[in-house]
């Protein structure tokens, strides 16, 4: 009862991350752990100068709590001055110990990454909504430009047209950002990535590797979309990420009898310059090609996976190994029930309703 009625100290508000404190006290130093309780994930009693305190991870956060030692009381009281002084010192000791335990934390990280007991954070919906926002703004600005042109407001039309291009380019970048993330989750849901190390390797690889991890390019339609998007991605990277010289890599021009000739920088080591290349894709044509890919993607067998991606639930590698995802991917109704079940469990865990 004394520990249950503990009062949160101000000195405990500067503790390191809850997981570092747990690994330090429970795993490494083997302090006793009272385990879960109502709105409490774990609770570790500690003594300082012969006085009892508890380090506890509650719904409202990690803290150092001073117990209510009066057996007649049924409510927690204000923290004593001694308790505040002690909590500051306990916090300093835990901070110092966490710094010294860094090699242990690194070892734990390497060990966990080799296995499948990991959750992969899912930002797919947020990233896709970002793409949709820029795409919508691009078409809005393009419509405004056309309307102003019809009104013979050519200056306003020019400004709106420029904004339409900016929004379109931002939408294209946002699309590729989404795919770099979503392809990894699609690969996990299909059981193609099952350990933290495998996810790390693909996450560090280029866009081509991520696409192929998620989608079989031996199928003709998939290969057509892959080639088209790869060419578009190369243009966008040349133009936006590599100095904005030109979508085809045209950084120079030279004079000739034919007039000004663009000189293109290529990615080839043996022939780094060219005067001819594939035509640049216009921004709004690129948006159309992107939408065609998205429509095609969610018309394939991967449509079931969309329910999971849109849920923002993490992808659980254990489920990729034990067949849980394979079962859920059978049809949309099964996946929908599975997602709803996981969402309930996630909410309960967040609220510490055990």
Q: What is the mean pLDDT of the chain?
A: 88
Distance separating alpha carbons of residues 53 and 32, to the nearest angstrom: 13
Task: State pLDDT tens for residues 102-139.
Answer: 999 999 998 988 888 899 999 999 999 999 999 999 99
Task: State pLDDT tens for residues 279-333.
Answer: 555 889 999 999 999 999 999 999 999 999 999 999 999 999 999 999 999 999 9
Task: State pLDDT tens for residues 236-289.
Answer: 765 555 554 555 555 666 777 777 776 666 555 455 555 555 555 588 999 999
3-state secondary structure of 247: coil
Q: What is the average pLDDT across 31-57?
A: 93
| Crossing angle (nearest 10°) for helices 154-189 and 207-214 | 50
pLDDT score at 263? 67
Residue 218 has pLDDT above 90, yes or no: yes
pLDDT score at 2? 45
Q: What is the average pLDDT across 228-243?
A: 73
Distances (CA, A) of 54 to 23, 79, 133, 211, 215: 16, 13, 48, 49, 51
3-state secondary structure of 277: coil
Task: State pLDDT tens for residues 154-170.
Answer: 999 999 999 999 999 99
Distances (CA, A) of 125 to 41, 117, 175, 346: 29, 24, 12, 17
pTM listed for this prediction: 0.79
pLDDT score at 282? 82
Nearest residue to 9 (alpha-carbon basis) of 97, 91, 111: 91
Residue 82 has pLDDT above 90, yes or no: yes
Distance separating alpha carbons of residues 245 and 262, to the nearest angstrom: 11
pLDDT score at 234? 79
Cβ(235)–Cβ(227) below 8 Å: no
Q: HSE on the CB side for 263, CA within 13 Å?
A: 9
Per DSSP, the residues of 67-114 read ----TT-SS--PPPHHHHHHHHHHHHHHHHHHHHTHHHHHHHHHHHHT
pLDDT score at 123? 97
Radius of gyration of the chain (CA): 28
Exposed, middle or buried by CB within 10 Å (0-12, 13-18, 19+), for 341? exposed
pLDDT score at 183? 98
pLDDT score at 138? 97
pLDDT score at 244? 47
Which percentage of the chain shows pLDDT scores above 70? 85
Which percentage of the chain shows pLDDT scores above 90? 72
Distance separating alpha carbons of residues 242 and 36, to the nearest angstrom: 52
Q: What is the average pLDDT across 3-28?
A: 90
Task: State pLDDT tens for residues 171-207.
Answer: 999 999 999 999 999 999 999 999 999 999 999 999 9
pLDDT score at 174? 95
Per DSSP, the residues of 201-229 read HHHHS-HHHHHHHHS-TTSHHHHHHHHHH
Place of tokens 């991917």: 329
Cβ(283)–Cβ(309) below 8 Å: no
Distance separating alpha carbons of residues 312 and 315, to the nearest angstrom: 9
């Amino acid at each position: 009862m004394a520990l249950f009625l503990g009062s949160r100290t101000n000195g405990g508000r500067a503790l390191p991350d809850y997981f570092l404190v747990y690994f330090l006290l429970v795993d490494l130093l083997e302090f006793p752990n009272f385990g879960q309780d109502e709105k409490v994930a774990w609770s570790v009693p500690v003594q300082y100068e012969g006085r009892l305190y508890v380090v506890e991870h509650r719904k409202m956060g990690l803290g150092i709590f001073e117990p209510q030692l009066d057996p007649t009381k049924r409510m927690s009281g204000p923290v004593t001055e001694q308790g505040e002084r002690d909590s500051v010192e306990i916090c300093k000791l835990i901070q110092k110990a966490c710094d010294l335990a860094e090699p242990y934390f690194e070892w734990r990280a390497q060990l966990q990454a080799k296995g499948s007991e990991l959750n992969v954070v899912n930002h797919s919906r947020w990233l896709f909504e970002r793409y949709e926002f820029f795409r919508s703004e691009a078409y809005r600005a393009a419509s405004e430009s056309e309307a102003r042109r019809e009104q013979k407001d050519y200056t306003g039309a020019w400004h709106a047209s420029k904004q339409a291009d900016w929004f379109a380019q931002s939408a294209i970048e946002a699309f590729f950002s989404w795919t770099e993330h979503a392809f990894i989750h699609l690969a996990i849901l299909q059981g193609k990535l099952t350990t933290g190390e495998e996810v790390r390797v693909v996450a560090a690889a280029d866009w081509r590797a991520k696409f192929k991890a998620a989608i079989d390019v031996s199928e003709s339609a998939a290969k057509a979309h892959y080639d088209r998007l790869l060419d578009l991605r190369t243009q966008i990277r040349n133009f936006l990420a590599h100095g904005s010289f030109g979508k085809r890599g045209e950084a120079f021009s030279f004079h000739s009898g034919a007039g000004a000739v663009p000189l293109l920088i290529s990615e080839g080591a043996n022939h780094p310059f060219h005067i001819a290349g594939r035509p640049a894709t216009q921004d709004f044509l690129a948006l159309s090609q992107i939408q065609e890919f998205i429509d095609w993607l969610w018309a394939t067998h991967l449509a079931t996976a969309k329910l999971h991606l849109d849920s923002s639930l993490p992808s659980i590698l254990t489920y990729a190994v034990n067949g849980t995802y394979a079962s859920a991917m059978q049809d949309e109704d099964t996946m929908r029930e599975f997602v709803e079940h996981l969402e309930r469990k996630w909410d309960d865990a967040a609220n510490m309703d055990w």
